């Protein structure tokens, strides 16, 4: 693609004002006018939980400036979502504390709310939108959020916009579902470059002087008290009284935009150069570790790309210009950087594409026809080992490498990228049926993984069963034509002795990790 394709986007208007947020990233479920008599513009922060590089926040600021109204940011955490646990709650609240610090002293009102009993927050959005000019929230295509937004839209009368700040490419930039990474990569090689110029602002409030709102009405804050975030994180006492899963304890991964930025800086400065060579080695700390921060929106993919571009000196003139679907050579950079960008861009955007276009992204019947056919043909094959959900969860299989991967998931909230593939393949191998294997993978991943419940997580789980893949030979028992992996072969390919020691059955959790 020629360098000339790199150009600033055409600005649109917002009732006469310039609009920096691309129109392709803005969606209304029901068309309504703004309520100019309202008291404030409300940004309901649900998926992009950050103060920087956030198109949703930027759009809310644009509305507040246009209407000359104060901006209220509601960041809430309910306690009745599926798989709610101490681990996930603490990670999110750590991010809320960072946001409170970022918004302190800014000309806006930040309103953190932590639900302390099931349905304790019921009515809060309606109470706020009754006084709002516009409601803006985050267009996340996965988990319970799309259903929640549709339900809210039916109950309110105010203008309600959802804004896509998920990926480098707008989710609705393409009108089809891509069945292979190769096909999406080829599409992005043709279409992505102009969208890279449409980057959200690092500091979206800069240059604006919005009216201030000192307090919300007492009838709102008395019923739904703003959270004391420091107390909520102090000693775990707050978490202990919530109706959530207390068996899934917080792990060593700290949440929030500050921790996410430190992780990004450490990766680019110290690990990126060896990423291509060492990323598949479980004993090496060579992966980015950014997935949890991208999932909860503490870190933006635009910030990652911008920081990386500055580090390696990338500019559009380096792009090959060949829309051939090939991974290597697309960006005109070295192997390690190209490999990381393929994960960050192609594979991450692939999951967003699927979840934003198909409601059945998490259903067995969404698998390719060839995969369903071959799995059905082998569903009754004899299995030498069969384990229940509980046995898998407790890492009680016959294979120590698989058990170690499961212990890492339970203890840390993550599995090394390469071993996560093996983890899924053996669940398929050792489950009573492919459908049961899918249920087990979803349950364990979404319960324990900090980056679970995400389009990228579902891509990985369903890849185990044939999504984004092709038929493989020779045809095997249980797997049929599904790609096959073994623990023994993995041991031959990568070094695991240190990994097995770290995640042995006797390993114990410490404040700094496991020993």
Residue 41: its H or E element = strand 40-45
Closest CA to 246 of 85, 92, 452, 114: 85
CATH number at residue 450: 1.10.579.10
**How far is Cα 298 from Cα 45, in angstroms, rounded to an integer?**
11
Q: For residue 267, give Cα distances in angstroms to 25, 49, 274, 340.
A: 29, 21, 10, 11
**How far is Cα 414 from Cα 407, in angstroms, rounded to an integer?**
9
Residue 4 has pLDDT above 70, yes or no: no
- On whether residue 418 sits in a domain, the answer given is yes
Residue 306 has pLDDT above 70, yes or no: yes
Handedness of CA 332, 338, 344, 349 (dihedral sign): positive
Q: Helix 434-448 vs helix 400-412: angle between axes, to the nearest 10 degrees?
A: 40
Residues in the chain: 515
Using CB atoms within 10 A of its CB, is residue 8 exposed (0-12), middle (13-18) or buried (19+)? exposed
Q: How many domains does the chain have?
A: 1
Mean pLDDT score of the chain:
94
* Burial 232-264, CB ≥16 within 10 A → b, else e: bbeeeebbeebebeeebbbbebbbbbbbbbebb
472 phi/psi in degrees, rounded to 5: -120, 150
Q: Tokens 């699927």 — which residue? A: 354
- On whether residue 433 sits in a domain, the answer given is yes
Kind of pairing between the strands at 109-114 and 132-138: unpaired
Q: For residue 75, give Cα distances in angstroms to 25, 84, 113, 245.
A: 21, 17, 6, 22
Kind of pairing between the strands at 17-19 and 12-14: antiparallel
- DSSP SS3 for 333: coil
- On whether residue 96 sits in a domain, the answer given is no
The answer to whether 39 touches 183, Cβ cutoff 8 Å, is no
Q: Is 420 left (phi over 0), alpha (psi -120 to 50) or beta?
A: alpha
- Average of pLDDT values for 106-114? 97
| pTM of the full structure | 0.94
- Under DSSP, the state recorded for 179 is S
- On whether residue 326 sits in a domain, the answer given is no
- On whether residue 104 sits in a domain, the answer given is no
- On whether residue 153 sits in a domain, the answer given is no
Residue 474: cis peptide before it, omega within 30 degrees of 0: yes
- On whether residue 192 sits in a domain, the answer given is no
pLDDT computed for residue 483 by the predictor: 98
pLDDT computed for residue 128 by the predictor: 98
| pLDDT more than 90, % of the chain | 92
- Average of pLDDT values for 474-499? 96
**How far is Cα 65 from Cα 61, in angstroms, rounded to an integer?**
6
- On whether residue 451 sits in a domain, the answer given is yes
Residues whose CB falls within 8 Å of the CB of residue 88, separated by 6 or more in sequence, listed in order? 248, 450
pLDDT computed for residue 510 by the predictor: 38
The answer to whether 162 touches 29, Cβ cutoff 8 Å, is yes
Instruction: Please report which confidence band the pLDDT of residue 507 belongs to, taking 50, 70 and 90 as the band edges.
Output: low
Residues whose CB falls within 8 Å of the CB of residue 235, separated by 6 or more in sequence, listed in order? none
pLDDT per position as a tens digit, 199-238: 999 999 999 999 999 899 999 999 999 999 999 999 889 9
The answer to whether 325 touches 184, Cβ cutoff 8 Å, is no
Q: Helix 257-270 vs helix 301-312: angle between axes, to the nearest 10 degrees?
A: 30
Q: What's the domain range around 487?
A: 364-514
| pLDDT more than 70, % of the chain | 95
The answer to whether 3 touches 317, Cβ cutoff 8 Å, is yes
pLDDT computed for residue 236 by the predictor: 85
Handedness of CA 415, 419, 424, 427 (dihedral sign): negative
Q: How far is CA 394 from the centre of its chain?
A: 26
Residue 12 has pLDDT above 80, yes or no: no
pLDDT per position as a tens digit, 276-292: 999 999 999 899 999 99
263 phi/psi in degrees, rounded to 5: -65, -40
């Amino acid at each position: 693609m020629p360098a000339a394709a790199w150009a600033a986007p055409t600005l649109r208007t917002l009732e006469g004002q310039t609009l920096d947020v691309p129109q392709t990233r803005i969606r209304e479920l029901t068309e309504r006018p703004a309520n100019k008599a309202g008291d404030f513009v409300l940004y309901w922060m649900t998926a992009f939980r950050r103060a920087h590089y956030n198109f949703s926040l930027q759009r809310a600021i644009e509305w507040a400036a246009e209407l000359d109204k104060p901006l209220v940011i509601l960041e809430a955490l309910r306690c009745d979502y599926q798989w709610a646990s101490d681990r996930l709650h603490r990670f999110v609240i750590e991010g809320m504390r960072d946001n409170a610090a970022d918004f302190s002293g800014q000309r806006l009102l930040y309103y953190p709310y932590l639900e302390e009993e099931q349905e304790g927050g019921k009515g809060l959005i309606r109470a706020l939108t009754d006084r709002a000019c516009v409601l803006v929230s985050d267009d996340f295509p996965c988990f319970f959020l799309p259903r929640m937004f549709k339900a809210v839209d039916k109950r309110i009368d105010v203008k309600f916009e959802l804004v896509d700040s998920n990926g480098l490419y707008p989710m609705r930039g393409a009108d089809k579902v891509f069945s292979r990474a190769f096909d999406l990569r080829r599409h992005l090689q043709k279409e992505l470059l102009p969208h890279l110029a449409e980057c959200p602002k690092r500091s979206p409030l800069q240059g604006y002087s919005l009216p201030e709102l000192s307090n919300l009405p007492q009838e709102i804050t008395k019923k739904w008290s703003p959270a004391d975030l420091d107390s909520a994180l102090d000693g775990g006492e707050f978490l202990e009284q919530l109706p959530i899963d207390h068996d899934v304890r917080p792990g060593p991964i700290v949440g929030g935009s500050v921790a996410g930025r430190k992780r990004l800086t450490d990766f680019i400065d110290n690990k990126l150069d060896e990423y291509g060579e060492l990323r598949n080695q479980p004993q090496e700390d060579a992966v980015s570790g950014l997935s949890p921060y991208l999932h909860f929106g503490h870190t933006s993919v635009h910030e990652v790309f911008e920081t990386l571009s500055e580090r390696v000196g990338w500019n559009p003139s380096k792009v090959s210009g060949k829309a051939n679907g090939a991974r290597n050579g697309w960006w005109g950079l070295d192997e390690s950087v190209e490999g990381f960008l393929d994960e960050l861009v192609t594979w991450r955007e692939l999951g967003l594409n699927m979840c934003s276009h198909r409601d059945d992204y998490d259903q067995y019947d969404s698998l390719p026809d060839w995969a369903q056919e071959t799995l059905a043909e082998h569903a009754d094959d004899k299995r030498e080992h069969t384990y229940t959900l509980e046995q898998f969860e407790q890492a009680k299989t016959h294979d120590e490498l698989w058990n170690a991967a499961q212990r890492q998931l339970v203890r840390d909230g993550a599995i090394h990228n390469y071993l996560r593939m093996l983890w899924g393949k053996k669940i398929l191998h050792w489950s009573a049926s492919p459908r049961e294997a899918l249920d087990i993978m979803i349950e364990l991943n979404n319960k324990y993984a900090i980056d679970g419940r995400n389009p990228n997580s579902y891509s990985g789980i369903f890849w185990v069963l044939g999504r984004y893949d092709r038929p493989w030979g020779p045809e095997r028992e249980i797997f049929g034509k599904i790609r096959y992996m073994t623990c023994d072969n993995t041991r031959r390919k990568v070094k695991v002795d240190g990994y097995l020691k770290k995640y042995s059955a006797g390993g114990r959790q410490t404040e700094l990790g496991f020993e």
